[in-house]
Amino acid sequence: MKLRFHTLDVFTCETFAGNPLAVVMDADGLDGGTMQAIAREFKLSETVFVIKPADPAHRAGIRIFTPVQELLFAGHPTVGTALLLADLDGTASPMVLEEKIGPIRISFSGTGRERIATFEAATMPKPLGDVPPDDAIAAALGVDTQQIGYLNHRPHAANPGNHPMLYVPLASREALANSSPQMAYWQGLGELGKFLVYAYCAGSGENLFHARGFAPLDGIGEDPATGSAACGFPSSVINAEGAWRGDREIMIFQGEDMGRPSRINVTAAMEDGALVSVRIGGQAVRVSQGQLLLGS
């Protein structure tokens, strides 16, 4: 069996930046075990398998795998796959991708490498309890305990739709740059350490933030851009700053400290003190294409 694949760099318009993604086309004949094996072979944060949609009005179904598990949903695979399919189709018409979490609607703006795909999160982030103490978080990230939190920003946990995440505000850009998973202390994070730790700090403006995503137990030491974490990020801002009215535009810069700078656009809308929608936007650039030779 021969299957076409493409790779892209997502949440960037520059080759060799952003978050790499592999997309395997026409994957209906593959079972889940084979998809997982292919994802391990690519060894990227996520690999997407494009299949026929259940609803013929939708553009495609997709299944998303990390090197160790299948996900209900993920942000950079959604953006990257949508931009790839739009490029292959030669159109920028809105589309729907069927993911495990449900149908995801995507719109497009701009042209060429400047084209942006924007999707609306299928669910709002769900706050979780049992946040580890500051000293356990600091030890796991290799930073001083006094660097945990700033102003009213405090560590908290939320599930943006695919799995629990621990959001960790750090007091300085230097602390963020110096943070890294300390596996001898990682177990101190408990169940939250099994998934993603999203460390962040303030940027140069009130709506600008820098972030790093660590998932060492998911086969991902550091993720260059984490769209699903960005879906949950407005909950961090709400916890620290309270509610706002209407849309708020947030920019997250991620991947800078690993040499793969990424930019994630977040638009969070609130009504009557409640978060009602989160939209994530970003660019992507195609890098390679080829064939998988299975069973040869």
Please identify every residue annotated as catalytic: 46
Do the Cβ atoms of 34 and 6 come closer than 8 Å?
A: no
Environment class of residue 259 by beta-carbon count within 10 Å: exposed (0-12), middle (13-18) or buried (19+)?
A: exposed
How big is the CA angle at 249 (ends 246 and 253), to the nearest 5 degrees? 155
Helix (H) or strand (E) holding 142: none
Vertex 118: Cα angle to 78 and 123 (nearest 5): 70
Which residues on neighbouring strands pair with residue 185, listed in sequence order?
A: none
Q: Which two tokens stand for residue 67?
A: 């090197």
d(CA 88, CA 25): 11
Of 43, 48, 35, nearest in space to 1 by CA: 35
Cβ partners under 8 Å of residue 223, min gap 6: 19, 45, 196, 213, 214, 215, 254, 255
Q: What values do phi and psi take at 137, rounded to 5?
A: -65, -45
